[in-house]
């Protein structure tokens, strides 16, 4: 099995349950890890034989542009798009961190992790 990962992809987006969050926006960090068994010889040195991390970044970019109330929904959207693009993947972990969430005290980030296959 091969794992491909992006760590700390940074976005400014407008997710949040409260209207103020959707208006003001916030900084987010996205981590994506995808595990797969290569469909062809990896030694062929061809991008088509692997998961392209640039495409993972583009998928995250597209999903972060769609304002949602819950970062869980954003994470699930990223996961679903990865499965659609790479149906041969065996595992996916998407973590989204909301940096400095608007709470009554100082918090580095809130986060959600969505995994495939689901443990449920």
DSSP 2-13: EEEEEEEEEEEE
Q: 57 to each of 90, 109, 120, how far by Cα in Å? A: 19, 21, 27
Kindly report the pTM of this predicted structure: 0.88
What CATH number is given to the structural domain containing 6? 3.30.1130.10
Active site residue 65: no
Q: Residue 72's domain spans which residues?
A: 2-116
pLDDT in tens, the chain (120 residues): 889 999 999 999 999 888 888 899 999 999 999 999 887 776 667 677 789 999 999 999 999 999 999 999 999 999 999 999 999 899 999 999 999 887 788 888 889 999 999 755
Minimal CA–CA distance to 19: which of 69, 70, 81? 69
Place of tokens 């909301």: 98
Token code pair at residue 23 = 């208006």
The domain tally of the chain equals 1
Q: Which of 69, 90, 98, 106 is catalytic?
A: 98
């Amino acid at each position: 099995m091969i794992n491909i990962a992006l760590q700390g992809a940074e976005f400014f987006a407008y997710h949040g349950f409260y209207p103020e969050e959707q208006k003001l926006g916030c900084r987010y960090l996205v981590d994506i890890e995808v595990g797969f068994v290569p469909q062809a010889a990896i030694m062929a040195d061809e991008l088509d034989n692997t998961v392209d991390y640039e495409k993972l970044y583009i998928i995250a970019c597209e999903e972060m542009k769609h304002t949602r109330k819950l970062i869980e929904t954003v994470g699930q959207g990223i996961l679903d798009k990865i499965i659609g693009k790479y149906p041969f993947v065996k595992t996916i972990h998407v973590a989204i961190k909301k940096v400095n969430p608007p709470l009554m005290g100082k918090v580095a980030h809130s986060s959600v992790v969505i995994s495939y296959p689901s443990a449920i």
